A = this chain, B = another copy of it.
Amino acid sequence: VHSESRLRVRYKETDQMGIAHHANYIVWFEIGRTDLCRATGFPYNEIEQRGFILVVTDVQCRYRIPFRYDDEVVIRTRVHELGSRAIRFAYDLCDASETLHATGMTSHVWLDEKTRKPVRADADVMRAFAPWVSALSRDA
């Protein structure tokens, strides 16, 4: 179970090596998360409106094959681990022909938007995310 997002590499995202700069992959992961949240029925906007923010505590990315300007990037996003206090997402970045270009993982904790203290996730959000847990990566 994963959600899928598609985008094209922006000219602004290239660097003088002629490839997409590696920091953009972290932004693409976030687009994957946004689309996965929407797919669960809880757009991330709504989560913030309920008074929760999902802050990043860890990011990892492994780069295999570069993307170039105007290449199509297919983002596959999964919930890798789901706890009431923390959540991990996993990502595969492929091209239009299914070749894997990069993989990644991000870890997050729930904070109360006002106090910025760790809290347990909203029960509705937990229920919505549960069916999306999928520990098996394409690499497994």
Copies in the complex: 4
Q: Which residues of B contact A55 (CB under 8 A)?
A: 17, 63, 66
Given A11-B44, A14-B16, A70-B45: A22 touches B59 (CB 8 Å cut-off) = yes
Judge whether A27 is part of the interface by a CB distance below 8 angstroms: yes
Q: Which residues of B contact A57 (CB under 8 A)?
A: 62-63
Size category of the binding interface on chain A:
35 or more
| Cβ-defined partner of A11 (8 Å) among B8, B18, B30 | B30
Expressed in whole angstroms, the minimum distance between the Cβ of A5 and any Cβ of chain B is: 10
| Bound: A27/B25 CA distance, A | 12
Judge whether A2 is part of the interface by a CB distance below 8 angstroms: no
Whether B60 and A60, one on each chain, are in contact in the complex, defined by CB atoms closer than 8 angstroms, is yes
Whether B63 and A61, one on each chain, are in contact in the complex, defined by CB atoms closer than 8 angstroms, is no
Q: Could you list 12 further interchain pairs (A-B, Cβ under 8 angstroms) beyond the known A12-B15, A43-B70?
A: A10-B31, A11-B16, A11-B30, A12-B21, A12-B27, A16-B18, A23-B30, A44-B69, A55-B66, A57-B62, A59-B60, A59-B63
Interface residues of A (CB under 8 A from B): 8, 10-12, 14-19, 21-24, 26-27, 30-31, 34, 43-45, 48, 53, 55-63, 66, 69-70
Q: Can you list 9 A-B contacts (CB < 8 A)?
A: A8-B34, A10-B27, A11-B34, A16-B69, A23-B27, A57-B62, A57-B63, A58-B60, A59-B61
